[in-house]
Amino acid sequence: MESATIGKSVSELHELLVHKDISSTELTKAYIDRIKSVDPALQAYLTVLEDQALAQAAEVDEKISQGQALKPLEGIPMALKDNMCTEGIRTSCASKMLDNFYPPYNATVTERLRAVGTILLGKLNMDEFAMGSSTENSYFAKTRNPWNLECVPGGSSGGSAVAVAGDEAAFTLGSDTGGSIRQPAAFCGVVGMKPTYGAVSRLGLIAFASSLDQIGPFTKTVRDNALVMNAIAGHDPLDSTSVPYETPDYTKFLVNDIKGLKIGIPREYFGEGIDPEVAKGIQAGIQTLIDLGAEVAECSLPHTEYAIPAYYLIATAEASSNLARYDGVRYGYRADSNDVLGMFKKTRAEGFGQEVKRRIMLGTYALSSGYYDAYYLKAQKVRTLIKEDFDKAFETFDVLLSPTAPTPAFKFGEKSADPLAMYLSDITTVPINLAGIPAISIPAGFVKGLPIGMQLMGKPFGEGSLYRVAYTFEQNTNYHTLKPNLSGEVLSCAGR
């Protein structure tokens, strides 16, 4: 049962449910068995909700038995990154600070997925408070890349990417502040979409950097990704940054045709720091698109070199503000102390990990008196220039294309001792968050046996064009069909 079903796409699973070839309960059990089998090695999950998931599946099966029509995601087992609120279910942000936090409400995306009948399997590991590019910063465990257990899965949504790549969920949600959906999607060989800022509600997403954070889906295929976007996108009146716009049916853009579509290749995204083998793999992907009728030309995004410093000023400043609430008074971890000030200090010293403390300190400094104009304000001005670069490029091109990450997945410990080297691994992804535009990563080949991703960038609310190009590429390549070999022997070695 397990091998015959859990490797399938959401679309295929839906057909099995509709034709009663499998029940939602059987499907859910298969995923739970898979989690029990491989997750001791992969460490994608922080919480598994076996009883709740089976109860939800039984509700769907009752509906099927009554002959009611199934929605596209109904009865499909999925999981959420552990920074999305789930009522009564621990939501830890992979931090000691929130180890005992059980939200009193659901995030909007949690509500919307429940409304369409999905089955919540559990909550997924991540870098603490979404701060990191490798999922090495989790307080609880280091999630492993299923393609090579000695390599990181990317971050901060490492658990979300691994759960899909390792067949531990049919789809997952992650959050992306500077590449945290796209980079792990590339490292793990799955599809990851960062929607336009404001396209998906952030209500109930525990904040890192509020002007950059965005929720999006991880899936096996582009079609699955569009189906999940159909469920989660759209205006939320409870989120002041949610944009009122007419949400399309994203599956309507899934046509195997890009003839005449104009694709720009930013030269800055193929410069210093990009692994030559990754560049070669992406160039091969570009040639595939040319052969399929796309019109491809080089372009320039001249302020790209300032993206990393601008991002790490803006993101850390917003993190410093957002994380001020964790003081031991309201909720979360509370240290023992003889006085209030001592309790504040000990709570934050003991509750936060090293990377979170580093970013709070950087952000507090950037916002401090006398430095605000020199750092934070200037970074915001640079952000505007970066956005204008994209606006100008999109006057000529429908879509822009680059590598998702400058290298394939790296080994554990390879960059964790050098924060700057780790930050530079986001060079091709952070400009997209600064500009607020959508971008998707799709599997585009292998380097040294590890997946690499192709990043497609679009105009604001231009997710449809990204799906069109991504779907066409996927239909004419086989990278998305290849799976990591998670044999019992490999897993038992990893567990030792």
> Do the domain assignments include residue 141?
yes
Number of domains in the chain: 1
* CATH code (residue 18): 3.90.1300.10
Rounded to the nearest 10 degrees, what angle do helices 108-115 and 222-232 cross at?
110
- Phi first, then psi, for residue 139 (nearest 5°) are -70, -25
> Do the domain assignments include residue 421?
yes
> Do the domain assignments include residue 311?
no
Tally the C-alpha atoms within 13 A of residue 121's C-alpha that lie toward its C-beta. Answer: 34
> For the CA atoms of 278, 282, 284, 286, what is the dihedral angle to 10 degrees?
-170
pLDDT (average), residues 428-455: 98
pLDDT, tens only, 203-254: 999 999 999 999 999 999 999 999 999 999 999 999 999 999 999 999 999 9
Q: Which residues form the domain of 296?
A: 2-303+387-480
> Do the domain assignments include residue 171?
yes
Distance CA 180, CA 135 (A): 10
Please list the active-site residues. Answer: 81, 156, 180
Provide CB contacts within 8 A for 355, sequence distance 6+.
127, 128, 131, 132, 137, 419
Helix and strand totals (H; E) in the chain = 17, 11
pLDDT (average), residues 357-383: 95
pLDDT of residue 496: 32
Q: What is the pTM of this model?
A: 0.96
> Do the domain assignments include residue 365?
no
> Do the domain assignments include residue 352?
no
pLDDT band with cut points at 50, 70 and 90 for residue 456: very high
Three-class DSSP category at 30:
helix
Provide CB contacts within 8 A for 159, sequence distance 6+.
43, 44, 45, 46, 81, 82, 124, 125, 126, 135, 143, 153, 172
Query: Which of 27, 177, 204 minimizes the C-alpha distance to 111?
Result: 204
> Do the domain assignments include residue 184?
yes
The residue type of 129 is F
Tokens of 179: 């590449």
Which of 9-18, 292-301, 482-491 has the least mean pLDDT?
Answer: 482-491
Query: Which of 50, 59, 56 minimizes the C-alpha distance to 31?
Result: 50
pLDDT band with cut points at 50, 70 and 90 for residue 424: confident
Distance CA 187, CA 57 (A): 31
**Cβ-contact 123, 46 below 8 angstroms:** yes
> Do the domain assignments include residue 457?
yes
Tally the C-alpha atoms within 13 A of residue 68's C-alpha that lie toward its C-beta. Answer: 14
pLDDT, tens only, 182-191: 999 999 999 9
pLDDT, tens only, 287-346: 999 999 999 999 999 999 999 999 999 999 999 999 999 999 989 999 999 999 999 999
Distance CA 72, CA 10 (A): 8
